[in-house]
Amino acid sequence: MSLAVIILAAGEGTRMKSSYPKVLHNICEKPMIHHVLETVNKLGPERIVAVVGHKAEMVVKAIEGVEFVVQKEQLGTGHAVSVVEGVLDSFNGDIMVLSGDTPLLKAQTLSNLLNVHRTTGAASTLLTAKMNDPTGYGRIIRAPSGVVTAIIEEKDATTEQKLINEVNTGTYCFDKKKLFDSLRQIDPNNKQKEYYLTDVIKILSSSNEKVVAASANDPMETIGINNRVQLAEAEKILRQEINKKLMLEGVTIIDPDTTFISAEAKIGKDTIIYPMTFISGNTKIGESCLIGPLSRLINCKIGSFVTIDSAVVRESTVEDYAELGPFCHIRPGTLIRKGAKVGGFVEIKKSEVGQNSKVPHLSYIGDTYIGDYVNIGAGTITCNYDSISKHKTVIEDGAFIGSDTMLVAPVKIGRGAFTGAGSVISKDVPEDSLAVERTEQVIVDNWAKKRRRKKGISEG
């Protein structure tokens, strides 16, 4: 039996008060609709059709692997589904409808729903949930026998109906023909003057078609995101799930409430994540690392036994046993080799720091290759930019860069060479030599004594 999934994503999302379509708001770093799509894809449907409308170009640009149908005017969820009828003309099978704003739904829940639908042979099977606070959702109306007879939207509900806490999650399976036949019968005679998809249930039920309700095991999984308060709730639920999974896999998270890890991140066992840490994108961290507090890793590859304290590291690789921070900024394209140390107030961009080399304090290293066992003195700066182009600095194995050295690139410091503190090095330094580029120190004997006398300052 084939499956076509219709994802409703044409609405403006008025309650978000946003210039962007609702379904493009991020939850744990990904647009809401990406979460929905990933889940839907796990069902392996023959067709996925997204209904777009409000700022359609933006939504179309943000997702792939689906067919798009434009709903020019957003006249309601029922109208949104009816515009898909044409493109599914040749399709034979079950139809699942869900919203682009229910991002926490699990594939297992959807496949259960589909299973119930197929085994009961219902005209429609809807996913319902019992909410502690059902405010805002459509309520499930059941006959005394228990069968579902209608869904009443909050705005159209009586005070009594509002007390019902079983809600419509906006996720349904339908028999194709019965769905589109019913949609032709709905009207916008309701408080919102919209064509409600939910009215299909009443139509099917009153013509004695079988309507089945499948209840979601975890109601929180079904929440719809209509405003930014719900957006934050969804973010929190997803974040807790990610953290929990990692903890069960052997990662210590000192304070899950202040630890933000992307769903894609991979972290090895015995790594400890300290509070206020953000691990984003496709970051991969090895075993037994100490990460944080106050750190941010974006698309990084981190080895094992690495220490990162109060650092921002972007699109870079850090090998085993390296130590970063506190307070350093590692910019894209950097490779910190095994056992290297990068200390406080150091910025490194598009550079390689060799094995066991140290950049311990207050430096800027850009477009630089640093070999193994190099020591970079405090305050060293690679002057890599001449206002037109960037130039490379090469510091070979075992070199010692004196504090406050300016390395005016392009420049090369040979193996084992030294630079004197405070030097401005603008020419290559041969291996094993010392380069000093500064005026020689002048000593004026008794200068201070003479000055004191002249100014009448006592000799105490």
Say if CB 167 and CB 129 are below 8 A apart: yes
The item of Ca ion, ligand UD1, none sharing an interface with residue 354, based on CB under 5 to 8 Å by kind, is none
CB of 100 to Ca ion, least distance (A): 9
Give the integer Cα–Cα distance in Å for 287 and 295.
17
Q: Which is nearer to ligand UD1, 74 or 304 (CB)?
A: 74
CB of 358 to Ca ion, least distance (A): 55
CB of 43 to ligand UD1, least distance (A): 18
Position of minimal CB gap to Ca ion: 224
Give the integer Cα–Cα distance in Å for 219 and 235.
16
Footprint of ligand UD1 (CB under 6 A): 8-11, 51, 53, 71, 74-77, 79-80, 99-102, 137-138, 151, 153, 167-170, 196-198, 224, 226
Q: Which is nearer to ligand UD1, 37 or 348 (CB)?
A: 37
Q: Is 443 exposed, middle or buried (0-12, 13-18, 19+ CB in 10 A)?
A: exposed
Q: Which is nearer to Ca ion, 197 or 413 (CB)?
A: 197
Give me the active site residues, please. Answer: 361
The item of Ca ion, ligand UD1, none sharing an interface with residue 137, based on CB under 5 to 8 Å by kind, is ligand UD1
Q: Which is nearer to ligand UD1, 137 or 260 (CB)?
A: 137
Give the integer Cα–Cα distance in Å for 41 and 101.
16
Unique residue bearing structure tokens 């974040």: 239
CB of 9 to ligand UD1, least distance (A): 5
Give the integer Cα–Cα distance in Å for 256 and 279.
12
Cβ atoms within 10 Å of 299's Cβ, excluding its own? 17
Footprint of Ca ion (CB under 5 A): 101, 224, 226
The item of Ca ion, ligand UD1, none sharing an interface with residue 309, based on CB under 5 to 8 Å by kind, is none
CB of 226 to ligand UD1, least distance (A): 5
The item of Ca ion, ligand UD1, none sharing an interface with residue 167, based on CB under 5 to 8 Å by kind, is ligand UD1
Q: Which is nearer to ligand UD1, 36 or 336 (CB)?
A: 36
